[in-house]
Structure 1
């Protein structure tokens, strides 16, 4: 989507206009100050989903930095259309200063050797290349974030091959990360699965793994006497149990709706689920609400009879964060 236009106090100053007018408009509720000297129309800001606001904050940071910056970690992911979990992230950028880790002008800096750094341009800004971005998320993010990023780039595009492959990702590890970070990356790469169909599905199975639940079969085809019923997100065939993650995108995304109304999709889902149940299976559904914490998701899965192979303590798999 197109991001709302940024309004910079520095632009007004260059034109000889009083930039304090922007502060007055912000006090009146007409503008939203999203960074020192950077504003956006309040109506436009309020219309954005939380995942749409973060890229705008990165652009706001870029507009106030003196030199062109290479963004990394979650910031590079957000600009490169790699799913980012969570709602509160600082702006992350690279620095050649070996000290790294310092925050200046609201930007958190991370050391990156210029000789090993590959850079791409997305949304008009420089970011670490996709492979490096995924590896950084796996090295320094949560296990759920790592799996989500790996699944995403391994998944085939709608009209072509996947963005990346394991060989390219593995080739980017050597000489950059510590032994501990490398173990975290390798754990995520080994667990990655291109069959995972969405960020919610990736988070779900990563949490199942941490909690000790039996690994489900992904994208399982269900058939009945009338033919193909559909594909379930998760399936435990021996238990006759089907699982569906419902991210609600299917009820709002025009690309998914394909001219149908949200009500049409709800009815179609109900008919599909009834046919699945008629095969003798149980069907369980969950949303982001159940994924809010490991404890909540564990309680949900236990209540629904999802089998366990061990009782996990919620700690990440060995080698991950």
Structure 2
């Protein structure tokens, strides 16, 4: 999706225009100020899905920072089209200052050794490499975020090849502490390219952490007519299927595959009816249910999802 053009107060100053005009237009609801000195048309901003707003915030930060910046972690992930969990407006950037970790004007700086840091260009901005970005997420963010990012890069994406577990493990090198390397390898060992979406990855990671029995992914379900479809999750012994419904598949073109949203909903209903006709019970959930470990644990327990004999160690 094409992002709206940024309107900079600094450009108005260079052109000799009164920058107060932009503030008045924002007060009138014509513009949205997304960063100090940076505006976008209100209609364009309001039409943007949540996942497209964050990259625009990164572009806004880049346009106001005094020197060219290398973006990292969640910000680099967004520019690499990796799944980023949550909705924090903070932009993440590298610094060679050993202190790191400071936030100023909506930008959080993280130490990166300039001797080992490899940088690429993405959407006109400097970012940490795809491998480094994924490893940083696995080292410093939640197990759920790590799983979502790793599942994503283990399969090919438009214009980008799949990364292998061996390649990612090699990338750890000496850039991380022993504890961070253990976190990365635990997530890497758990990662599975069969996961069909970030929501499925988060669901699976939470199930693992909460001690629920591991499901089969993308399980083939057949009825008397043949292939009924594939279930996101299946517990065969319990004759139970789980489906994550992120709603995005009814809105984004790559999920719709030429169908209208209403056609996609109807096809989904028919697929689920055929799965139920095999005697399986189908449990569905959304981002609401996986918004917190306690909430998801209560939901899974109420739905009869089986537990392992022992819960996994908490991350």
Give the Cα separation in 2 of the matches to 1:298 and 1:310: 15
Change (3 A) 1:55 1:161: closer
TM-score normalised per structure 1? 0.94
RMSD (Å), alpha carbons: 1.6
Q: Deviations 1:112-169 (Å, cap 9, x if unpaired)?
A: 111211111111101000100011001110110011001100123479851x111111
Question: What corresponds to 1:29 in structure 2?
Answer: 29
Question: What corresponds to 2:187 in structure 1?
Answer: 188
Determine if the alignment matches structure 1 residue 79 to structure 2 residue 93: no
Give the Cα separation in 2 of the matches to 1:80 and 1:189: 19
Q: Higher relative contact order at CA 8 Å, sep ≥6: structure 1 or structure 2?
A: 1
- Give the drift of 1:256: 2.5
TM-score normalised per structure 2? 0.96
SS of the residue aligned with 1:302?
Answer: helix
Between stretches 256-265 and 62-71, larger displacement belongs to: 256-265
Between stretches 212-221 and 270-279, larger displacement belongs to: 270-279
Change (3 A) 1:105 1:298: closer
Question: What corresponds to 1:244 in structure 2?
Answer: 243
Stretches of 4+ aligned residues off by more than 3 angstroms? 156-161
Q: Deviations 1:218-257 (Å, cap 9, x if unpaired)?
A: 0110112211111111010111111111111222222332
Give the Cα separation in 1 of the matches to 2:240 and 2:52: 35
Question: What corresponds to 1:225 in structure 2?
Answer: 224
Structure 2: which 5+ residue stretches go unaligned? none
Give the Cα separation in 1 of the matches to 2:214 and 2:32: 46
Question: What corresponds to 1:91 in structure 2?
Answer: 91
Change (3 A) 1:117 1:167: same
Give the Cα separation in 1 of the matches to 2:237 and 2:30: 58
Question: What corresponds to 1:68 in structure 2?
Answer: 68
Change (3 A) 1:232 1:158: farther
Q: Deviations 1:8-64 (Å, cap 9, x if unpaired)?
A: 010010011111111111111111111111111111111112221111111000001
SS of the residue aligned with 1:244?
Answer: strand
- Give the drift of 1:194: 0.6
- Give the drift of 1:268: 1.7
Structure 1: which 5+ residue stretches go unaligned? none
